[in-house]
A and B are shown apart, each in its own frame.
Chain A
Amino acid sequence: MDNSPKHTTDLVRQGLAKRYRQEARFRRMGMTAIILGLAFVSMLFISIIGNGYSAFWQTYAQLEVHLDASKIDPEGTRDSDVIADADYGGIIKQSLRDMFPDVTGRRDKRTLYRLVSNGASYDLKDFVVANPDRIGTTIQLWVPADDDIDMLMKGHFDRDKPESERRIKDNQIAWVDTFVEQNRIESRFNKTFFTAGDSRDPELAGIWGAATGSFFTLIITLLLAFPLGVATAVYLEEFAPQNKWTDVIEVNINNLAAVPSIVFGLLGLAVFINFIGMPRSAPLVGGMVLTLMTLPTIIIASRAALKSVPPSIREAALGVGASKMQMVFHHVLPLAMPGMLTGTIIGMAQALGESAPLLMIGMVAFIVDIPTGVLDPSTVLPVQIYLWADSPERAFVERTSAAIMVLLAFLIAMNALAVLLRKKFERRW
């Protein structure tokens, strides 16, 4: 064969166009992958925010309520117990009937009552208990509208569809329009969403209960996982002899990091609840399960942090006569602390977003009360999202998305904190 350089360059030149086409094609594939990935991120956020932002507002309706003394406090005692016992639901219904006197049928009446939330009677009660001097007068009271009305006002129901295909009926729309004409309807910031516990009524449901549950669960996780994780890392990095036993521990930690989270839930159910007999649905158990789950993350990060402390520091400390323990606790640990904290925050963020193992230990119950301690039955934010996502009401879709936004905000804040911590204390030796 011809081996002259001239021949070679000719051959290379012949193939060039095709090779550059391949190059361009490969590059385009890479670019497409990035764009697809970014498109998924934006689709996710657009879908969540688009569905959820409206949940931060809630439609309120103004009712003209006559505080009939004979119904609230017939004997005029003005005793708060007596006042609190009155039938406020009835009063609200009366005021709706007064507003639309031509509604007569039983069915229609019931539909009419559903214009405002079940929570309206509680609002009214609170008002009257706080202002007993207003009994006997007529007041203008803003109460939350029912979730269907809320959805109608937010434009989630199509008025143009035939009545049979709508959740909301023609007469309801007519009543709402009356409210609108009289300026008796307005959209307000949805405080309930941030202050209430769970509820069957979307307009009364809030994330505070789940957030509190998450808080208690995370506190337990932090209190257990941080010291245990750091202690394990310190032992393995600074004290452990190089032997089989240490190897076994290390292999175990690496494997635990990749065990599906639901398996930790099975462990929690079988050991903590059935064997030890701890209460179901308690943040204490949830925290313990999440501790086991996040420990590997914290241990691996803490070990990396310890490794990055140069040996010269250790030698310097030992050289001035510190014991090995003093060397670790006075010199190495403080220098490794930012890295350990970063790892811990990331582990906590993981724990905050986790739900599967908590389903196993019963933190999936419908819980209205705000938990007050680590033994109270509670749920957590991601499980609350799961529960709401299962609810059929249209208003819960909105609230689920809003709850996701809150959860993501927390997660982003935690990760930002971790990044900040890393940036601030990043040290090049």
Chain B
Amino acid sequence: MSTTALIFTLVLLAGFSFWLGRKRSFAVVNGDAWKLHSLPNYYGYYTAIWCGIPALMITAMWLFFENTIITHLVVVDLPEEIRSLSPDRLNLVVNDIRNLVSGNIVSSDVDPAMRAAADHYIHLQAISQAALTVLVLAIAISGALLALRAIRQEKRARNAVERIVMIFLLASSTIAIFTTLGIVLSVLFEAIRFFETVPLTSFLFGLEWSPQMAIREDQVGSSGAFGAIPLFAGTLLISFIAMLVAVPIGLLSAIYLAEYASKRVRAMAKPLLEILAGIPTVVYGFFAALTVAPFIRDSGGLLGLDVSSESALAAGLVMGIMIIPFVSSLSDDVINAVPQAMRDGSEGLGATKSETIKKVIIPAALPGIVGGILLAVSRAIGETMIVVMAAGLSANLTANPLEAVTTVTVQIVTLLVGDQEFDSPKTLAAFALGLLLFVVTLILNIIALHVVRKYREQYE
């Protein structure tokens, strides 16, 4: 039975055992449901859980380990000369076998040893699938039977079911932690492996970035250079341009909508601006590459400036547009959190609206606004698609917004997309960059969230 069919059968079995459990609970009290400790449905749930959950867990475990075990068994049976290969080459062989198994290689001239190994693999897979089916169905049925036998009048089915639900709730809430842990471990391990070949200092302070490693040792430029400074500089340049666009426009439009605009204007303009927040970043990237970058290049040309068609200006400008609603909605929140009494106090003294805003509201809301801007910066630094589509690939160390620069995220994408080889410094470098990106944005977020929370408490 295929895995999908197996899971489907399990669900059916669980549904059936719900019915059985419910029926049985009536039977033990001769139909007087009120005599039972719990409602009849709880006996149904109880039986269904015993039928489904252990079986599902076994299936998951089995599928998790199946590949590793089968591969191991296949490798053990490979001819001696293949087994003695270096781990890297052996991995390639295993990959080939897997490709043979899934039918991705249809060429006729396949090494008979490989063919045999693939057949072996398929054979083991079939055995494993059959064993799994038998085992899981047996566990499901015996689980249901055990649960059915345990049903008595005084059986606390509700408590048992609620305990299991509670475990599920608790387990779900830990996913956030496991995600963070997963992120940290996955980037950290690969990054450490990277720093074994490239020293941390030359990564953090190196001025040259050219990750193009030669495939063979004797090729020119095989060393590659992994100095990340040009990437930081590019990232910061583009983020800075983005903030130059987003902060004034976002902040001023939030102020205008909150303090000046009539109800009708607010009801119209606010949702229209919020559309910007819902547009996927890939759309912004396309807009930047198709419309904005050529426009900037052409208008630069009219002024006699030499503007790159992948200029930092274009990417930064469009990224700024993307961040406008983010800044404006955060500013809107903090401006509205300033109590009306502050406005009354200032206007009661005869201050004009703009004086009230500039001298009372903004200073009062400043921590919140700064927090919002930090979050926006973190977003700009981590933004990927716009820069992948509109910024360049070459790592120029420049502060000129008309030139092309590259960013951390662009390099992560270029290093990892399409590259299948997992151990070269080139791929590992992507993880080192990922670690850096994660750490920087994490610090920004923690500071920002802290500042914003402190600010909210001030007025609560």
Contacts and interface: CB of A to CB of B under 8 A. Distances in A.
A and B touching (C-beta < 8 Å)? Answer: yes
Interface of A: 12, 19-20, 22-23, 26-27, 29-34, 36-38, 40-41, 43-44, 47-48, 51, 227-229, 231-232, 234-236, 239-240, 248-249, 252-256, 258-264, 266-267, 269-271, 274-277, 292, 295-296, 299, 323, 325, 349, 352-356, 359-360, 364, 382-383, 385-386, 389-390, 397, 400-401, 404, 407-408, 411-412, 415
A47 B289 CA distance: 12
B106 interface: no
Nearest to B261: A34
- Which of A22, A30, A271 has the largest count of B CB atoms less than 10 A from its CB? A30
A260 B409 contact: yes
B127 interface: no
Contact of A353 (B183, B275, B279, B446): B279
Nearest to B39: A326
Interface string B173-201: 11111011011001101100000000000
A48 B389 contact: no
B306 interface: no
Nearest to B265: A34
A267 B413 CA distance: 14
Contacts of B385: 355-356, 382, 386
A216 to B, nearest CB: 13
B166 A239 contact: yes
B5 interface: no
A12 B431 contact: no
A197 to B, nearest CB: 19
Given A23-B354, A30-B255, A263-B434, A256 B170 contact: no
Contacts of B276: 37, 40-41, 44
Nearest to A279: B102
Contact of B389 (A234, A325, A352, A389): A389
Given A353-B280, A386-B389, A34 B269 contact: yes
Interface residues of B, number: 91
B273 A355 contact: no
Interface stretch (B8-16, B80-88, B215-223, B375-383): B375-383
A19 to B, nearest CB: 6
A356 B379 CA distance: 13
A356 B269 CA distance: 30
Contacts of B269: 34, 37-38
- Which of A231, A260, A401 has the largest count of B CB atoms less than 10 A from its CB? A260
Given A37-B249, A258-B379, A262-B437, A47 B158 contact: no
Contacts of B190: 270
B172 A27 contact: no
A276 B382 contact: no
Main secondary structure of the interface of A (DSSP, over half): helix
Contact of A267 (B186, B285, B286, B430): B186
B163 to A, nearest CB: 9
B177 A248 contact: yes
B302 interface: no
- Which of B64, B180, B260 has the largest count of A CB atoms less than 10 A from its CB? B180
Contacts of B449: 254-255, 258
Contacts of A274: 422
Contacts of B290: 47, 51, 389, 397
Given A23-B352, A40-B324, A231 B168 contact: yes
27 contacts: A23-B355, A27-B353, A31-B260, A37-B276, A37-B324, A38-B273, A40-B324, A41-B273, A44-B276, A47-B290, A48-B287, A232-B173, A235-B170, A249-B176, A253-B176, A255-B180, A255-B445, A256-B179, A259-B382, A260-B383, A262-B382, A262-B384, A263-B438, A274-B422, A277-B67, A353-B278, A412-B278
Contact of A249 (B177, B279, B448): B177
B253 interface: yes
Given A34-B257, A34-B269, A51-B290, A355 B248 contact: no
3 nearest interchain CB pairs?
Answer: A260-B382, A30-B256, A353-B280
Contacts of A23: 352-355
A389 B289 CA distance: 9
A31 B265 CA distance: 11
Interface string B256-284: 11001100000001001101101111111
B297 to A, nearest CB: 16
B384 A259 contact: no
Given A47-B291, A274-B422, A323 B175 contact: no
